[in-house]
A and B are shown apart, each in its own frame.
Chain A
Amino acid sequence: MKGVDHATLGMLILLLCLLGPVLFFIRRAKTGALLPVRRISGIDAIDEAVGRCAEMGRPLSYTTALTGVGPVLYACLGILYHISRRVARYKSRLFLPQSAPDVMAISEEVMRDAYRAEGALSAFEPQNIRFLSDEQFAFAAGYIGLVQREKVAAAFLFGRFTAESLILAEAGQQVGAMQIAGSVSPEQVPFFICTCDYTLIGEELYAASAYLTREPVQLGSLYGQDRSKLVLFLLVVVGVTIATFNAVFPESAIMNVDEALLKAFW
């Protein structure tokens, strides 16, 4: 327990500022408002990669590596759903190397749903979802083996990665797979940029699902979060201005905004 430090009025207002636009734009999207999204070449390439595999008659692999259950996985599952539908449509094979049993169970359900949505449930092969290991490098070793043995033509690496990122990406590179990666770990992004054909950086991973499916809830959410970032941007500017003012004029320093709000409303 952290005490009441986080339960301040300022925090409540900030949360409303961040989440209010999201709810507003979800509602707008549901009423049919047109919400265009800028082109992201890495996401456009996903369909191209799936099509390439179908043409070559070689399988694909999709991994979330060591990503646990949480928002990042949730974003990855949206992409998995889209890829699985394409795979089911083109009658390709999709391998899902897994490191966490709970994530494996969720991924299997998503993949099954995608096959069902394409009317190809009988083509769904649960044995393509493979639990390798929950140990980082044992998982990496298993992934290399899978990619090399199956000669995948496309590899998707989405999620939260650590030191294993380059090992995984190099494995795909060695078999000539078209690779698309997306990570919310900034430290791993350079490795993916060096090794993969396309890399989604940070929030692009979260946007991918909305971009691919164009569903109102996801599009509205994407629009809303962009407006939330504007709010944050404004707050950064205000904060920098106040900090600069306080440094230059220490005798008339502006008090903490949070404290000011508390004093005013609490």
Chain B
Amino acid sequence: MNYRRALIAVVTFLGGIYFFLEFVLPAEVAGVRLDYYHEQITLGFITVGSMAVGLGLINLLILHGSRIVFMRRGALNSVALLLGLALMMVVTIAEWRRSAVDGARIKQFFMLRDFAAKIHADFELSRTSPAEAAARAPNLPPPQVRVAKLTQSLSEALTELDLHLQQGQSDGAFTEAYKRKLAAAEADIKRGRKKCQDILSELTGSDLETGWSESLLKLGEPLTLVGMRYGDWLNIQYEHSLTKRSYRLLYEGLFVPLGAAMFSLLAFYMATAAYRAFRVRSAESALMMTAAVVVMLGQIPFGVWIWNELPEFRLWLLTVPNSAAFRGIALGSGVAGLVIAFRMWLSIESDSFMGDR
């Protein structure tokens, strides 16, 4: 028995039936939120699919690497391609890493703010309704422990912030306008930081008997200020960093214009293709040329000058005969696609693809 064939058929069938059910079932079945699981499964599919990117990379390396090693025709082009690939990869990874690191730096302040608010809310609930609080979170550590953890984390975050602000000041590649923006952001951060430090002193100095819960609430505003302005400050730094400038040069300065240049070739190709197609050699090409001329003239004021009903006629051509043809093609393709998908799903296959080898 061909186990490979059977395995492929079973996996294909299961995959197909999953997506079929996902399409027809409601979001929640018997209290189970299927859409949540669907999101997870879709992410899994994306992850598996992304592994295929490596295949493309290997293909490029083998093809162009061998050309360079054996000094075949076009070896220099291959060198340029592989260098470009390596450069783009390095810059993109650096750019992605920087974004991730900066994001985590900002996020910690918002997380600390939320943590403080949560401790406050839990404490208030335990005072007003102890039974409900115990039922909601039975294994919650005592507030003293949570506050100690908060003050320790906040203290570390502020120390790290100080260090980072000092390091950032040494970079001098900014225009005056950006320097002013940086200084303003830094001033706000320091203001927020000072407030945080004051509240931190209150919290560490207090015996956690009186007023500490309100101090926790007061942390919200300065932590939000620090988080937001720190984000602005990092963003300005990031926009002027070597990583971002290199990325911009390669992507916006080279890749995008090269793509636009390729796209612009279409204008010339359309002209040559139209020239070839519109040479009247048969009844079909004559009909095609007539329709094209009508559509083109109907689009411009000159067409209206010739015959004021021409735009209407153009619209009729596009919406009636043209749409009918389009729909006919779409219907035929749709049914054929459905049938092939059905054959794939049930692995009803010919020997071309699934034959015993």
Contact = CB atoms under 8 A, between A and B. Distances in A.
Q: State yes or no: do A and B come from one complex.
A: yes
Given A26-B348, A213-B350, A1 B272 contact: no
B269 A166 contact: yes
B352 A215 contact: yes
A130 interface: yes
Contact of B352 (A78, A98, A225): A78
Q: How large is the interface on A (under 10, 10 to 19, 20 to 34, 35 or more residues)?
A: 35 or more
A88 interface: no
A230 to B, nearest CB: 10
A161 interface: no
B266 A167 contact: yes
Contacts of B330: 186, 202
B23 interface: yes
Interface stretch (A50-58, A100-108, A239-247): A100-108
B55 A104 contact: yes
- By DSSP majority rule, is chain B's interface helix, strand, loop, or mixed? helix
Interface in A208-229: 209, 213, 215-218, 221, 224-225, 228-229
A75 B52 CA distance: 21
B336 A225 contact: yes
Given A202-B328, A203-B332, 11 more contacts: A2-B23, A18-B338, A100-B52, A101-B59, A127-B63, A129-B59, A138-B255, A140-B262, A170-B273, A209-B352, A229-B332
A46 interface: no
7 contacts: A1-B26, A3-B26, A70-B341, A104-B56, A202-B329, A215-B352, A228-B339
Contacts of A224: 339
Interface in B230-256: 255
B326 A186 contact: yes
A215 B350 contact: yes
Contacts of A71: 336-338, 340-341, 344
A198 to B, nearest CB: 14
A155 interface: no
A201 interface: yes
B335 A229 contact: yes
A2 B27 CA distance: 7
A163 B63 contact: no
B331 interface: yes
A2 B21 CA distance: 11
Interface stretch (A35-43, A59-67, A188-196, A256-264): A188-196
A232 B63 CA distance: 48
A74 B23 CA distance: 22
Contacts of A1: 22, 25-27, 34-35, 38
B357 to A, nearest CB: 7
Residue of B25, B34, B269, B329 ringed by the most chain A CB atoms within 10 A: B269
Contacts of B255: 135, 138
B274 interface: yes
Instruction: Please give me the 5 A-B residue pairs with the lowest Cβ-Cβ distance, nearest first.
Output: A203-B332, A206-B336, A7-B24, A101-B56, A137-B262
A22 interface: yes
A221 B276 contact: no
Contacts of A28: none
A108 to B, nearest CB: 9
Contacts of B134: none
A206 B334 CA distance: 10
A81 to B, nearest CB: 5
B42 to A, nearest CB: 12
A4 interface: yes
B76 interface: no
